Amino acid sequence: MFTNLKRKNSGRVLPVTALLPMLLLVIVLVLTACGGGGGGKGSGSESTATAGSSGTPEQTPDTTATQNTSGGSNKDITGNFTDPLFLAYVQESVGNSEGEPIFASDVSSIKTIAVSNMDITSLDGMEFFTSLTTLYCSNNRLTQLDIGENTALEILNCGINQLTALDVSKNIALKDIACYTNLLNELDVSKNTALEKLDCSYNQLTRLDVSNNVVLEKLSCTDSPLTRQDITGLDESRTTVILD
């Protein structure tokens, strides 16, 4: 198609080979133009992607774990166990390694705590043992004992401690109370109508009312100021009394 091209002012026909450099230049220019456009589109796509990433609505953080530890059966209660010896006992009881969190659901079904002779000073955290029926915590260094949340408790042995008070008014299922060798100067068992055995020996009790304990079978009050006259409602026809 280029054979008929003529140069101005000369009348000669230019050979095809003379036009090759020009054709190459045109091709390069076209390719450059196309490449630039493509680059522009690529850049535009990248910009769009970046904008899309930054413009994506922020995902709402998954707060399930946090919510689960804020209360209820999945509450992390590890910090409630202030005595390290009692904490270690609970860790072992629920099958945890040292440092693993303890949740309320881990202990809510436990029925027995046996921590006698362990030099424990506090049973804080025991309130989460809501199914507890038996508590053995004798011969420790307890100065107080809160069992108000352990309403299923049937057997309590807290002897040989340093308790100055013992509130069992909410533990109406109690059948056996052993609180011997403490520093108690009063004990109210009027709400414990299911009580069958009571050992309050080696305390400072000066009076005791067992009028409501109609199924009481055995009462031990040795080495205390109590006399028979100091025990109200005592029926020795059904209750064996040990005072000496």
Q: Identify whether residues 25 and 144 lie together within a single domain.
A: no
What are 121's two structure tokens? 């000073």
Q: Identify whether residues 20 and 102 lie together within a single domain.
A: no
Q: Among the listed ranges 6-15, 109-118, 126-135, 186-195, which one has the minimum average pLDDT value?
A: 6-15
Q: Identify whether residues 22 and 108 lie together within a single domain.
A: no
Q: How far is CA 126 from the centre of its chain?
A: 13
How confident is residue 69, by pLDDT bands cut at 50, 70 and 90?
very low
Residue 173 has pLDDT above 50, yes or no: yes
Q: Identify whether residues 104 and 222 lie together within a single domain.
A: yes
Domain around 119: 94-244
How confident is residue 16, by pLDDT bands cut at 50, 70 and 90?
low
CATH number of the structural domain spanning residue 100: 3.80.10.10
Domain-located, residue 69: no
What are 139's two structure tokens? 């011969």
Among 27, 47, 67, residue at a domain's last position:
47
Q: Identify whether residues 100 and 30 lie together within a single domain.
A: no
Q: Identify whether residues 206 and 106 lie together within a single domain.
A: yes
Domain-located, residue 185: yes
Q: Identify whether residues 153 and 221 lie together within a single domain.
A: yes
Q: Could you tell me which of 178, 138, 142 has the C-alpha nearest to residue 160? A: 138
Over the stretch 137-159, which tens digit does the pLDDT of each residue have?
Answer: 999 999 999 999 999 999 999 99
What are 223's two structure tokens? 């080495």
How confident is residue 40, by pLDDT bands cut at 50, 70 and 90?
very low
Q: Could you tell me which of 17, 20, 15 has the C-alpha nearest to residue 3? A: 15
The Cβ of residue 65 has, within 10 Å, a number of other Cβ atoms equal to 9
**How many domains is the chain partitioned into structurally?**
2
